[in-house]
Structure 1
Amino acid sequence: MKILYGVQATGNGHISRARAMGKYLAKAGVEVDYLFSGRPADQLFDMQQFGDYEVKRGLTFVTQSGKVNYWQSFWQASVKTLKQDIQALDCSQYDLILTDFEPITAQAAKHQNKRSIAIGHQYAFLHDIPMQNANMMTRMVFKHFAPAQYQLGLHWHHFNQPILPPIIDEEPQNVAAQSNQVLVYLPFEDQAQVIAMLKPLTDYQFSVYGPGLSKATLGHINTHPLAVKPFKIDLASCRFVLSNAGFELISEALQLQKRILVKPLNGQMEQQSNALALQQLNLATRAERLSSSIIANWLNDNSEKPKVTYPNVASAISGWLLADTPDSINTLSQQLW
């Protein structure tokens, strides 16, 4: 089997899912070509696993200081380039097109009538799940942005819908968790403001990852550039995770039973809905804004940490793909929950 795998590269979570899926597809002897869009090639990192991958412009949202900037998003979008890339992509050599909310591969498969399957958190929003600030426009985006013949939506709970648990890129780390260690990943916030908020909290050790940061030690705060391996080590060794409300990191933190505080991205329906779901499931604390006092109150809260265990979804999906039974999504969902 030969697969073209399209990955939305705007967020690192999509890439993390592709890492997990890629490992099991490779074990099964599947030949996979990867196409990433939504981020310039020079901003991608630790991509060796994906071989000779392609990068296209695609579409993405521009964020500034924790908010979606729709004006800049509009001006930086190139619908003409997107249309040209869709028309130029030849899917004829592939048996299957996989898309993780990546529009070029999804739309090309649709226009060329190729077998296609979508995998990702965004496809859970096609079902009756907790949503905040949803409207006709957001529903149209989830349905038509990166469509496929079959959709595998992922979420932290099934909500009595035919969706699957999260795909987690698990790499066991031989490190012990530290009671005062905090992992901070707030890529959509002003990093200088984040560090300023953490400075008064000297009882804790913070590992801060974010765009534009270099490796440095500022007393009890260690800053890091984005990199997969050190991030995974710090995630395994921390007790607390402070992040925006993206899906994949929260999934990994839940699996490792970390205490979580999320600050959803303002104006981004998906993150607002994720934060709502975490509240309803009692899996994390939510804050609409951050300050030193808000973070301190969360760190000093001695309530029990979440306890969830997710199965190996990447392995299960790989086997399901090879079995070629796309109509059995309900059965796959029931087996995994």
Structure 2
Amino acid sequence: MKILYGVQATGNGHITRARAMLPALQAHGIEVDFVFSGRDETGYFDMECFGTYRTFRGFTYRMQEGRVRRFDTLADARPYRFVQDVLALDVRAYDLVLTDFEPVSAWAARRQGVRSVGLAHQYALLYPLAGMPPPPLLPFGLKAFAPADDYLGLHWQSFGQPILPPLVQVNPHPVDDKGFILVYLPFEDLTRVKTWLRSAPQQRFRIYAAVDKIVSDGLIEVHPFSRTAFPRDAAECSGVICNAGFGLCSEMMALGKKLLVRPLDNQAEQASNAKILQKTGAADVVHQFDSATLRDWLQRPNPAPVRFPDTASAVADWLAGGCAEPVDKMVENVWAHD
């Protein structure tokens, strides 16, 4: 079986999910080629595991100081370029297109009549979650952005819907707690973040940001992005401050790390994630850089690690079987192995 795997690369969560899926697909003898879109081609790092991959412009958010700039996002969309990319991508040599909310591969599959499967957190937002129905136009928008023949949404619970558990790839074994707080707020103003963290002057923080080298500023260290150092620090930290992205929050829940999340403004997915995290007690939520909330959160203990089922192997098995089993039955079987 040969699959084209399209990955939305606006943030790193989709790419991390693809890293978790790849070994499971290969274990089932599936040949995989990759397409990425949503960031400048010079912005990818530590991509060796994906072999020779293709990149397209696709679509992405334009953000400033933790807020999605809607007008700038629309102005930068370049729909004509998108249509050109869809026409240029030939997917007819593949048995299946797997899209993690990646629109170029999804629309190429739709146009050329190749079966497609959507595997992404965003597809969980097609359903009511925790008693909260999706905004009226959101399901239409999700399907219009990256359509598929079958949709496999991912979330922390099934909420009584055909939604799979998260795809995580972490080492849950205990490690020494080094006493620092890991901070990953790549869409926020770094100076503003550091000013906020200084309101807890006795606490050590390690920030990952777009810098070229490690910079120390008292008890605050700023580190460049790294696929090798970041997972180590995630395992050794005392807690994590981040935006409300699904992938990173899932990994930290699996590691048993307390979470303080600041959802991006004007971003429906992160707003939904933050509400569910707060409602289920899985994280504290801060919408502004509030010093009192930060200090209170620092006093909280870490929760027990959450053990998620092996979603990657289950999805790979389902794909290798020709997607023959009904989605709701497959999802039920995955959760039953929790």
TM-score, length-normalised on structure 1?
0.94
Distance 1:327 1:319, change over 3 A: closer
> Where does 1:173-322 land on structure 2 (aligned, <5 Å)?
175-178=175-178, 180-212=179-211, 214-302=213-301, 305=303, 307-322=305-320
1:45-69, Cα deviation, whole Å (9 max, x unpaired): 1000111101100011101001110
Question: Do the aligned residues in 2 keep the contact of 1:156 with 1:251 (CA within 8 Å)?
Answer: yes
Letter in 2 for 1:305: P
Pairing of 1:126-205 with structure 2 (within 5 A) = 126-130=126-130, 134-171=134-171, 175-178=175-178, 180-205=179-204
SS in 2 for 1:142: helix
> Which amino acid is the alignment partner of residue 192 of structure 2?
Q
Looking at structure 2, the residues matched to 237 and 131 of structure 1 have their Cα atoms a distance apart, in angstroms, of 35
Aligned equivalents of 2:234 and 2:241: distance in 1?
A: 11
User: 1:171 and 1:39 mapped to 2: Cα distance?
Assistant: 29
Tell me if the contact between 1:97 and 1:115 (Cα under 8 Å) persists in the aligned partners: yes
Give me the whole-angstrom Cα distance separating, in 2, the residues matched to 1:12 and 1:162.
25
- The whole-number CA distance in structure 2 between the counterparts of 1:189 and 1:203 is 23
Q: CA deviation at 1:28?
A: 2.4
Count the aligned residue pairs.
335
* Matched-pair contact (CA < 8 Å) for 2:260–2:284: yes
1:333 alignment counterpart:
331
Task: Give the 3-state SS of the residue equivalent to 1:46 in structure 2.
Answer: coil
Greater Cα shift, 46-55 or 323-332: 323-332
Q: Give the Å deviation of 1:173.
A: 7.4
CA deviation after TM superposition for structure 1 residue 220, in Å: 1.4
Secondary structure of the residue aligned to 1:228 is coil
Using the alignment, how far apart are the partners of 1:297 and 1:32 within structure 2?
46
Distance (whole Å) between structure 1 residues aligned to residue 228 and residue 174 of structure 2: 13
Q: CA deviation at 1:170?
A: 2.3
Deviation at 1:187, TM superposition (A): 1.1
State the AA in 2 paired with 1:322. A
Partner residue in 1 for 2:44: 44
User: Retained in 2: the 8 A contact 1:182–1:207?
Assistant: yes
User: Please, what TM-score do these two structures have when normalized by structure 2?
Assistant: 0.94
1:192-219 per-position Cα deviation (integer Å, ceiling 9, x unaligned): 1111211242322211012346312222
Residue type at the aligned position of 1:37 = S
Q: Is the 8 A contact 2:172 2:254 kept in 1?
A: no
**CA pair 105-69 structure 1, distance change in 2 beyond 3 A:** same
Q: Any stretches of 5+ residues in structure 2 without a counterpart?
A: none
Select between 205-214 and 284-293 the one with higher mean Cα deviation. Answer: 205-214
Q: Give the match for residue 54 of structure 1.
A: 54
- Identity over aligned residues, as a percent? 42
1:150-179: per-residue Cα shift (whole Å, max 9, x none)?
01100001101111000002256784223x
**Aligned match of 2:63:** 63
Contact kept in structure 2, 1:4 and 1:33, CA below 8 Å = yes
Residue segments in structure 1 that go unaligned for 5+ positions in a row: none
- 1-side partners of 2:260 and 2:321: how far apart? 39
* More displaced 10-residue stretch of structure 1: 32-41 or 196-205: 196-205
Cα 1:253–1:76 change in 2 (3 A) is: same
Distance 1:332 1:133 in 2: 24
RMSD: 1.8
2:321 aligned residue (304, 320, 323): 323
Q: Work out whether residues 60 and 73 of structure 2, in 8 Å CA contact, stay in contact via their aligned partners in 1.
A: yes
Give the Cα–Cα distance (whole angstroms) in 1 for the partners of residues 133 and 235 of structure 2.
33
C-alpha contact (below 8 Å) 1:197/1:291 kept by paired residues:
yes
1:124 corresponding residue in structure 2? 124
Q: CA deviation at 1:308?
A: 2.2
